[in-house]
Amino acid sequence: MPRVIAVLGAGPGLGLSIARRFAREDFATALVSRTDTRHASYRESLGGTTHTYTADVTDPAELEAVLARIEAEVGELDTVYFGPADLSGPRPGPLTETGAEALRAPFESIVLPAARLVEAVLPGMLDRGSGALLFAGGLSGKHPMPMLGTLAPASAALRMYVLTLNAALRETGVYAGALTIGGLIERGDIHREFTKQDHGFAVGTLDPDDIADQAWSLYTEREEAEAEFNAMAAV
């Protein structure tokens, strides 16, 4: 039986690259998106043992249900990648222009779903003594970036959550790692939306295949808790 990776928040950028990189290592891939609009193209692109599912992983019931379906239909989860991006909510902005309430949504759409994911899959991984949890987060959680001020506290919380989880899992056979990303990911939805208009400043781009290669290195080597990707000239 092939090992299984679930890609939560699968999109045409990094999510698809993560799935493709692990598929090259004979993983069965389970891709989860909010809609099934692009699922046929994902299956065609990846081929092999690719499965697609529709779920909003920020909803606790939907997250639990889709993880159960994947395990029943594809197999027990060796690896889970968590990287959903919500383009429907409020855009990040400077802290000087917003209030405390603006900080709530990023925690509810990023940090809490990540913790619920761990709560759901970690016990099984610990029982087997193997597995990996990979999380994509933002560079604003590590370096001050005023234009992303309302996102920064949640990004920082996710990053520290993963780093602390990594330390707690040492000697268990289970790995947790953070992909800390600063820049627009080529082929991704955020890249497409951002480049539709002139924002008055430039943001560097990142190749999702390069990030996926680093994700594979984190998975196999398990020596570092974090890989940073910085295309932000001002940082």
Write out pLDDT tens, residues 51-79. 999 999 999 999 999 999 999 999 999 99
pLDDT band at 186 (very low <50, low <70, confident <90, very high): confident
Contact 172, 222 (CB under 8 A): no
Helices and strands counted in the chain (H then E)? 8, 9
The reported pLDDT for the residue numbered 233 is 55
Query: SS3 for 163?
Result: helix
Q: Rounded to whole angstroms, how far apart are CA atoms 144 and 142?
A: 7
Is residue 87 scored above 80 in pLDDT? no
Stronger pLDDT, 85 or 25, i.e. the higher one: 25
The reported pLDDT for the residue numbered 192 is 53
Query: What mean pLDDT comes out for the span 9-38?
Result: 93
What percent of the chain is modeled with pLDDT above 70?
Answer: 89
Contact 177, 114 (CB under 8 A): no
Tracing tokens 């295309």 back to the chain, one arrives at 231
CATH architecture of the domain with residue range 4-230:
3-Layer(aba) Sandwich (3.40)
Stronger pLDDT, 151 or 232, i.e. the higher one: 151
CB count in 10 Å sphere of residue 38: 16
Write out pLDDT tens, residues 130-159. 999 999 999 989 999 888 888 899 999 999
Write out pLDDT tens, residues 121-130. 999 999 999 9
**pTM attached to this predicted model:** 0.90
Stronger pLDDT, 151 or 222, i.e. the higher one: 222
Query: What mean pLDDT comes out for the span 17-26?
Result: 95
Q: Rounded to whole angstroms, how far apart are CA atoms 19 and 34?
A: 17
pLDDT band at 189 (very low <50, low <70, confident <90, very high): low
Give the start-to-end residue ranges of the domains of the chain. 4-230
Contact 114, 134 (CB under 8 A): no
- Tokens at 153, concatenated: 């506290």
pLDDT band at 201 (very low <50, low <70, confident <90, very high): very low
